[in-house]
Structure 1
Amino acid sequence: MTTQAHAITLTKLNLSAIFGEKDVQTRLKTIADLWVSSPEVFFLDSLGVFKSHEAISGMVGTVQGFGGPDDEFVELKTLKHDEEDDVWVTRVKWGVGSPGGELALTGWDVVTIVGGKIKACYTFLDSK
């Protein structure tokens, strides 16, 4: 059974260790460690639908390319969660921008965790 602490940790690591990772091989390994198997993943954001570890990593690289080389993703709000049959739904408010500078983009991730691994992520961007 997935604990609340583990669900929160997975959600935060999805933001920092995946979206914050510039090295493709390290990012792919982290995706493989944190997410369910590649054919079972589902990631939806304004860029499209991504259904494999490689597709998620490629999308992250695209998103990183929108900003500067020093931009980082940061958590802005606390997580919400519910538990039912080892299925957790968490959400995190995030922003991305240069350290100490104005945030270039903010949004929400809603993450579904099944059996201790991330199954799906839905990203919602805030309007400027």
Structure 2
Amino acid sequence: MVDIATLLERNLQGIFGEGDEALRRTVAEEIFHEDAVFVEPHGTYRGREEIVRIAGVIRAMHPEFKYTPIAPAEVLHEEAGRMRWVSGSPGKAPSYAGTDFIVARDGRIAAIYLFFDGQPDPTSPPIPA
């Protein structure tokens, strides 16, 4: 069974940080339930295919951006967890920050909730290359 921290990291890098749709789809098949739901401030997306699609739309808005966790994943009873992160262009200050919160079932993501955390701390280190 995949642990919550690994699911959070693979979602951040392999789904929302991945520019290649085929690779994104492969990761989604491994970490999401078929009926998973993704909720973010602008909408709710149901099903693995729709999550892959909207992740591609989001990625296309800033294809050069990298996601960097700013704290270790926090896990509740191997059923839920959250990861705080920043995103931006490599070598520059982060452009925005967020928190992913997931609920898992049988070692896969059943639901993911994205919260934008406002502007990153101006003293945050640059995004790694």
The TM-score bracket by the shorter chain reads: 0.7 to 0.9
Verify: 1:20 aligned to 2:29, yes or no.
no
Aligned match of 1:30: 27
Aligned pairs for 1:31-70 (under 5 A) are: 31-37=28-34, 40-67=35-62, 69-70=63-64
1-structure distance, mates of 2:32, 2:41: 20
CA-to-partner distance for each residue in 1:94-119, whole Å, 9 max, x for gaps? 11111121111111010111111111
Q: Counterpart amino acid of 2:71?
A: K
1-structure distance, mates of 2:49, 2:31: 14
2-structure distance, mates of 1:43, 1:18: 12
Q: Counterpart amino acid of 2:14?
A: A
2-structure distance, mates of 1:36, 1:90: 16
2-structure distance, mates of 1:74, 1:57: 20
2-structure distance, mates of 1:59, 1:46: 13
Does the 8 Å contact 2:8/2:102 carry over to 1? yes
Q: What's the secondary structure of 2:91's corresponding residue? A: coil
TM-score, length of structure 2 as denominator length: 0.84
TM-score, length of structure 1 as denominator length: 0.85
Structure 1 residue ranges (4+ consecutive) displaced by more than 2 angstroms after TM superposition = none
- As a proportion of its length, which structure holds more helix? 1
Aligned pairs for 1:32-111 (under 5 A) are: 32-37=29-34, 40-67=35-62, 69-83=63-77, 88-111=79-102
How much does 1:22 deviate? Answer: 0.5
Unaligned runs of 5+ in 2: 120-129
Unaligned runs of 5+ in 1: none
Identity %: 25
How many pairs are equivalent? 119
How much does 1:15 deviate? Answer: 0.4
Q: Counterpart amino acid of 1:99?
A: P
Q: Counterpart amino acid of 1:46?
A: P
Q: Give the RMSD, CA atoms, in angstroms.
A: 1.5
Aligned match of 1:126: 117
Aligned match of 1:11: 8
